[in-house]
Structure 1
Amino acid sequence: MSAIPWFFATIIWLPIAFAGALGFVPLVGILGISALFFQKNIQFRPYMGVFIVALVYAACTSIWSPYTTPLVEIDFSKGDFHVKSAVLRVALITLFGGIALAGAQKVSKAKSKLVVEVFSVIILLQAISLVIIHYFYSDVYNFFEPLITDQTSATLNLSRNVSAFGIGATLLIAIFRHVDNTPKLRDLLLSTGFALFSAYYCQSLSASAAASAILLAWAFMFLPGIFGKYTFRILGCATAGFIVLSPIVFSSFIEVLGDRKETLEASYLWRIEIWTEVLRHMSEKPFWGQGLDALRTYDAVFEDGIWEGQRIIPLHAHNMFLHIWIETGYVGVWLTALSVLLMGNRLPAPADLGPKAAAAICGLWAACLIICNFSFSLWNDWWWALIVVVIGFVSLIHNAWSDEVA
């Protein structure tokens, strides 16, 4: 298959991320459509079937959801076309993303290696850009001010940019971790240094989730050496269990934290308040869930304090696992957990992937766990599009260093 679409994805990564990452959605569409011209046979995997059933069920919950939205919104006079349904957007990303990933697996070794090398340079440039933003934030903001509608948009764009970097950086850490097929102290120091560097500058830009994601990703890259062929099965089982038990985990955490939550930074404290409110409403419709985008209708506000008058739940739970629970209930949770469990059991063993690809998958898994626990809505289409693109680069890493497979 031609590597041109993935070269395009590499080159466009930095401007998309810098502009707020929303462009990853059409990028997945471009990659999927391009792959259709080259990919004749697309292999269907069992966990995909369960995941699709979960999406269909989530769509069905809109029937009893208090929040109503049309599937699409068309204004011929203005030439506007918007996919308004959250689950339809995610479903389209799943469809085109699956086709794109099937195509990525067919890219030749030489072309894959070239794409990955260029992508590594792009991630390094993105790291440098974050350093520049850290030290010269006002100058950067003033330079781009004509393109910025308001300060809130600029802040959101920066947050998404840093999150995109946090996900992309995990792949570069994996490559640094295994520069050679044989583990060396040099590789460990290089990957550790880049992980600490990346985490520090993410934290300096108030992106705690991205910083934590990078550090946990680095730690997870040791798992293949510990658990061997059982690595992904263990990750699948542990993640599925965490999804099912997340209300107990977070309610226990909040209870243990107690009044000490008042000592936390404002962003952390607000998340605690959001989770508390979500957990309080979770028992209202525990089996079927409250319906797609139901959280958007929760308009309770803070009665006093620094957020007086602001909504306690700002449109979503800031925790995708709790989000699944409250909107899709037991049914959605168990379907999601089952799809993750099957995925972990169906992934090839690390030895069959090669050290770089295995480390990249472990790192990406860890980064997703962190960010899904602390940031963004479950139905954020750009987030899932970003994950699809990065998984594609993982496939290219596997292709590029296939000779390192045990």
Structure 2
Amino acid sequence: MIAIPSLALNRLGDAPSDGSDRRTPWLSGVAVFVAVMTPLLAYIAPLGFAPLLALTGLLVLPGLRLTRAAAPPLLILVAMAVWAAISLSWSPAAIDVSKLKGYDDLETLTAMKLFLQVATYGAAVVGLRGLSDAGARRAATVLAYGVVALSVVAALDSLSGATIYQKLHLATGEAIRPDLAMVKVSLSTYILALLFWPAALILSRLSRRGLIGLLVLATVVTSKVCSSDACLVALAAGGAIWAMVYLAGRNGAKVLVGLVAAPFVLAPLAVLIAVETGFVAWLHRMVPASWDMRLNIWTFAADHIQSHPFRGWGLDASRTFGPGIPLHTHNAQLQLWLELGAIGAALAGVFFCWLAYGVVRLSERSRAEAAMAAGALVSYLVIGGLSFGVWQEWWLALGALTLIACRLARAVPRSEWTDLDEIAQQG
């Protein structure tokens, strides 16, 4: 259910080999539409990414061609949705369907939404694989410049105390408190952290490296001013993995697979060991209040995972533990273990490892593209491991969007002086 980029793009998000010889005006229009809407939604209404990706999936349905190559990841996600639905039979958060009346009630049905998201978000990713290279290049260019513009506006607004956002909000007829406006601006940093990697590759191949520096500076400034610590960690981790894959090629990509798998296997055990050894107690004395709260939630979740380690407590059970877990665990792996048990964690781990293994294969063709995919994948996992609930629609939609963005970036031709793949391969 969590969607993310990687080379699996070869299988899930690539265009056919003859993409440059075909005309796909409808898909090109859809791709450009998504590219234009991305920076606008990122700044004004990030939650709108859920309907945007759902709409994209519906728009590409007429020409959708589901191949055997795209089947494995989709089947994994369907299996995960089925297991989540089954877990409702023992979940304390299960809802009596007979009492549902209006649309607001249907919004509470997480299991139903998971199936719809697999269908629509999956259609968006797979459908746009049929985009011609020419169409993908146009959309990629629009996306890259849009991401840079977003980073600059977000940085300037954060430094001004979100005055721009407040004025835009006031134009709708409602005022918003300055502190809440800053929170809204901070949400754009998560989109920037994910799309930085494909945008940077696009700009590099367009010989616009100066804009990459501006993108880095603006994103870091906004994250720092808005206290988006998870984004700073994601950028740092993504950068380290980017360098590892770019410099070490296939060997570095193989290490990535292990790094991706480890949290899905070891997260509860790691927390319990950290508690027993006193490491968590030491961290409590060192970290600020927001991270102190996370430590308490993670400890609580790891302890309760032991009660039902195989089947979990059931879908959405995280919402039923009161003050012990406010809404969710702020860690994707722990939430999967807590709600869906080892089975759910294993399915999610297999999905992400499938994506990571795609980076291994992609590194044989282009280290720059593999490094981009690796950086985006790790950034998504890091943010998901620190900030959001697993089942949040807009966050899942951002995973699908990042997959699409990586596909668009790969369609931009390499310029002779920016492409160092051959040199890196020889080294």
Match of 2:336 in 1: 324
User: Quick one: distance in 1 between partners of 2:374 and 2:244?
Assistant: 7
2:321 corresponds, among 291, 298, 313, to 298
Shift of 1:36: 1.3
1:103 corresponds, among 93, 117, 127, to 127
1:333 corresponds, among 345, 355, 379, to 345
Match of 1:94 in 2: 118
User: Quick one: distance in 2 between partners of 1:136 and 1:109?
Assistant: 40
2:196 corresponds, among 169, 172, 182, to 169
Structure 1 letter corresponding to 2:405: F
Shift of 1:348: 6.5
Match of 1:360 in 2: 372
- Check conservation: 1:148, 1:154, Cα contact below 8 A: no
Cα separation, partners in 2 of 1:373 and 1:133, compared to 1, 3 Å: same
User: Which deviates more, 354-363 or 60-69?
Assistant: 354-363
User: Quick one: distance in 1 between partners of 2:63 and 2:124?
Assistant: 10
User: Which deviates more, 370-379 or 47-56?
Assistant: 47-56
Shift of 1:211: 1.7
Shift of 1:367: 0.4
Cα separation, partners in 2 of 1:260 and 1:106, compared to 1, 3 Å: closer
Match of 2:403 in 1: 391
Q: What aligned pairs does 1:56-205 form with structure 2 within 5 A after superposition?
A: 56-69=82-95, 74-75=101-102, 82-137=106-161, 139-140=163-164, 142-143=166-167, 144-145=169-170, 146-147=173-174, 154=181, 157-176=184-203, 191=212, 194-205=215-226
Structure 2: tracts of 5 or more residues without a match: 1-23, 423-427
Shift of 1:323: 0.3
Q: Are residue 33 (structure 1) and residue 33 (structure 2) matched?
A: no
Q: Deviations over 1:259-299 (max 9, x none)?
A: 44233211111111111221221211111100111111111
- Check conservation: 1:162, 1:202, Cα contact below 8 A: yes
User: Quick one: distance in 2 between partners of 1:153 and 1:289?
Assistant: 35
Match of 2:71 in 1: 45
Q: Are residue 24 (structure 1) and residue 45 (structure 2) matched?
A: no
Shift of 1:94: 1.9
Shift of 1:208: 0.6
Q: TM-score, normalised by structure 2?
A: 0.81
Count of aligned positions: 386
User: Quick one: distance in 2 between partners of 1:151 and 1:194?
Assistant: 25
User: Quick one: distance in 1 between partners of 2:100 and 2:408?
Assistant: 37
Cα separation, partners in 2 of 1:346 and 1:355, compared to 1, 3 Å: closer
User: Quick one: distance in 2 between partners of 1:392 and 1:296?
Assistant: 32
Cα separation, partners in 2 of 1:20 and 1:318, compared to 1, 3 Å: farther
Structure 1: tracts of 5 or more residues without a match: 181-185, 300-310
Cα separation, partners in 2 of 1:35 and 1:356, compared to 1, 3 Å: farther
Match of 1:266 in 2: 289
User: Which deviates more, 370-379 or 41-50?
Assistant: 41-50
Shift of 1:197: 4.3
User: Quick one: distance in 2 between partners of 1:347 and 1:170?
Assistant: 14
Identity across the alignment (%)? 21
Q: TM-score, normalised by structure 1?
A: 0.85
Cα separation, partners in 2 of 1:212 and 1:352, compared to 1, 3 Å: same
Shift of 1:209: 0.6
- Check conservation: 2:148, 2:215, Cα contact below 8 A: no
User: Which deviates more, 25-34 or 84-93?
Assistant: 84-93
Shift of 1:179: 5.8
Q: Are residue 286 (structure 1) and residue 316 (structure 2) matched?
A: no
SS at match of 1:287: coil
RMSD of aligned alpha carbons: 2.9
Q: Are residue 241 (structure 1) and residue 229 (structure 2) matched?
A: no
Shift of 1:218: 2.2
Q: Deviations over 1:291-312 (max 9, x none)?
A: 111111111xxxxxxxxxxx24
Structure 2 letter corresponding to 1:388: A
Shift of 1:355: 4.5
User: Which deviates more, 237-246 or 190-199?
Assistant: 190-199
User: Which deviates more, 318-327 or 52-61?
Assistant: 52-61
- Check conservation: 2:331, 2:388, Cα contact below 8 A: yes
Cα separation, partners in 2 of 1:41 and 1:56, compared to 1, 3 Å: closer
